[in-house]
Amino acid sequence: MIGMGRLLFELGERLQGKAHLRFITAGWERRIRIVVDDSPSQWQLTIAKGVASWDVWTEEQPADLIIRGAEKQMHMLFGGDELVYVLAKEKVQIAGPLRDQLKLDAILRLTCR
């Protein structure tokens, strides 16, 4: 299984490769905290100006959204396969404003291969 860092990097590449998503991400800048229940490390995914970047979570700023689940579900969620994504979405917990949850859902679905 590939690491979370690599998985989030690939998500960023897919997002940048789809020019039509710039309209969806324009003006939407969010920090997403990713909590992997069966791992000590936590991650952050930052989406700003149509670009997704990732890093290990630091508690300097609050998160706009929090995604929590097992490592297997995170791989399914961010892996880029739409059918697997739909299954994983049912098993993870996402906390934050509904509008941001819907926007993230659209971005993740549209970046699927």
DSSP secondary-structure letter at 73?
A: H
Query: Average pLDDT of 20-28?
Result: 86
Give me the chain's average pLDDT, please: 91
Pairing of strands 93-95, 65-69: antiparallel
**Total residue length of the chain:** 113
74 or 113: whose pLDDT is higher? 74
Q: 3 phi and psi, to 5 degrees?
A: -75, 160
DSSP secondary-structure letter at 19?
A: G
What is residue 58's predicted lDDT score, i.e. its pLDDT?
82
pLDDT in tens, 36-78: 998 888 999 999 888 899 999 988 779 999 999 999 999 999 9
